[in-house]
Amino acid sequence: AQAHIDALEKARVLNAYLVETPDRALKMADVSDAKIAKGEARPLEGLPLGIKDLFCTQGVHTTAGSKILEGFEPHYESNVSTQLWRDGAVMLGKLNLDEFAMGSSNETSAYGNVISPWRRNGSDAALVPGGSSGGSSAAVAAHLCLGATATDTGGSIRQPAAFTGTVGIKPTYGRCSRWGIVAYASSLDQAGPIARTTRDCAILLGSMAGHDPRDTTSVDLPVPDFEAAVARGVKGLTIGIPKEYRVDGMPAEIQKLWDQGAEWLRAAGATIKEISLPHTQYALPAYYIVAPAEASSNLARYDGVRYGLRVPGKDIAGMYENTRAAGFGPEVRRRIMIGTYVLSAGYYDAYYVRAQKIRTLIKRDFEQAYAAGVDAILTPATPSAAFGIGEKASADPVEMYLNDVFTVTVNMAGLPGISVPAGLDAQGLPLGLQLIGRPFDEETLFAASQVIE
Ligand code: GLN
């Protein structure tokens, strides 16, 4: 714990941590030392972790990357972090993120962007760590924690993992409790770990997962021994390669990496099969209707009364307006506008209902593939390697949204997906491959990820 505290003081330039909790870390580490001395070590005893600042932590400032939560100190702890502390992990602090987890580069954080520890060969230009869990990915990659919690609504665990050469898993919807996690789009949000290896991810997910009656969408299933699944191998498994993920303009090196990944799995005993997921092209536009719709509803609670920031006005409506105008950044406001529009009486059927129908079709595509004997699906994790800070934060937000083309389908269908580092591009930056699994079959993903890692 002390070594990590020292390291994060030296790495503040990365802006990965919004809040450091060294006193708490050392206190927890003392408990761990005592447990170890007594031979009573718990499964994560003494392991220093960072917590994405979307997870409520009791008595510790929780911002969701937004000014509107400035000063908010929850009097409760998220279920996921509670389970990590139960198992002996040590809390180093809270990690930066895109505001309310809306973004793919960490540039929408109200507290400044996170800088990736990676650089292109021969260049000093600062790169994004991905988003929205960019604090988590950067901190793990820079050895500022052993692992981190993250959340994924449309790719926010897998894309930052791919950009930083780390492993990240979005478990099946319902595997981890969302209780105590600031909501973005509740039907898509899932918590999961980012860590340096598949095995670390498996161990962390084993602690984070499990039924919680306080989240009615959390599923009452036993948590498998994920760590044991890592060494299982892929012999006899069928891995699908969906032809629709061969998108126009995909760099040749990503195609090459994808072929290479398939080859590694084949060499380890898997059968590789081309499959079709015909509704893939509709996933991104449908996601950018469903997610803002849910966000506009979830963010209605930030009214200056219940949490964080309050900016006075001449009456209560004026106070709401002033608080929300001062508290929300431009991307969050854009999402609220889109979401309110697609849910409005005149447009609900044309946009929201159609997007929900597309969501069902996407889910069916996967169900058919799995029914035909496919055990997991291999795709690239992202359409490119990490980009420079400011490079894509252009006037056209759609350019940023295109980053999520390979990841949003998984959230729309509620499936588990893992991103595993698979190689470097010509400029020396990490590239990730994604494996998509059957519902509640994270074990197969860990087994296949280990073969690629
Ligand atoms: N980039 C996507 C978005 O902005 C996904 C973010 C996430 O998974 N939280 O909505």
Residue among 151, 174, 21, 157 nearest 93 (CA): 21
Residue range 414-451, pLDDT digits in tens:
999 999 999 999 999 999 999 999 999 999 999 999 99
Atom of ligand 1 at shortest range from CA of 288: 10
Helix (H, G, I), strand (E, B) or coil at 153: coil
Ligand 1 centroid – CA 275 distance (Å):
26
Q: Is 409 in the pocket of ligand 1 (CB under 6 A)?
A: no
Atom of ligand 1 at shortest range from CA of 153: 8
Q: Is 102 in the pocket of ligand 1 (CB under 6 A)?
A: yes
| Tokens linked to 123 | 């260049």
Task: Give the pLDDT of residue 250.
Answer: 87
Q: Is 189 in the pocket of ligand 1 (CB under 6 A)?
A: no
In sequence order, which ranges of 315-396 are alpha helices (DSSP H)? 316-327, 330-343, 354-371
Query: Which of 52, 66, 98, 102 to mutate to test ligand 1, by most ligand atoms within 8 A of the CB atom?
Result: 102
What are the structural domains of the chain?
2-229 (3.90.1300.10)
Amino acid at site 10: K
Ligand 1 centroid – CA 290 distance (Å):
12
Residue 434 is inside which H or E element, if any?
A: strand 430-437
Q: Is 105 in the pocket of ligand 1 (CB under 6 A)?
A: no
> Is the CB of residue 28 less than 8 Å from the CB of residue 1?
yes
* pLDDT by position in tens, the chain (length 453): 999 999 999 999 999 999 999 999 999 999 999 999 999 999 999 999 999 999 999 999 999 999 999 999 999 999 999 999 999 999 999 999 999 999 999 999 999 999 999 999 999 999 999 999 999 999 999 999 999 999 999 999 999 999 999 999 999 999 999 999 999 999 999 999 999 999 999 999 999 999 999 999 999 999 999 999 999 999 999 999 999 999 888 899 999 999 999 999 999 999 999 999 999 999 999 999 999 999 999 999 999 999 999 999 999 999 999 999 999 999 999 999 999 999 999 999 999 999 999 999 999 999 999 999 999 999 999 999 999 999 887 768 888 898 899 999 999 999 999 999 999 999 999 999 999 999 999 999 999 999 999
Atom of ligand 1 at shortest range from CA of 287: 10
| Tokens linked to 294 | 């849910």
Q: Is the pTM of this model over 0.95?
A: yes
Residue range 1-18, pLDDT digits in tens:
999 999 999 999 999 999
Ligand 1 centroid – CA 45 distance (Å):
32
> Is the CB of residue 405 less than 8 Å from the CB of residue 384?
no
Q: Is 104 in the pocket of ligand 1 (CB under 6 A)?
A: yes
Q: Is 287 in the pocket of ligand 1 (CB under 6 A)?
A: no
Decide: residue 58, CB within 10 A, 0-12 exposed, 13-18 middle, 19+ buried.
middle
> Is the CB of residue 159 less than 8 Å from the CB of residue 131?
yes
> Is the CB of residue 92 less than 8 Å from the CB of residue 1?
yes
Active site residues: 52, 132, 156
> Is the CB of residue 94 less than 8 Å from the CB of residue 19?
yes
> Whole-angstrom distance between the N-terminal and C-terminal Cα of the chain?
27
Helix (H, G, I), strand (E, B) or coil at 254: helix
Distance of alpha carbon 448 from alpha carbon 453, whole angstroms: 9
Atom of ligand 1 at shortest range from CA of 102: 4
Amino acid at site 445: L
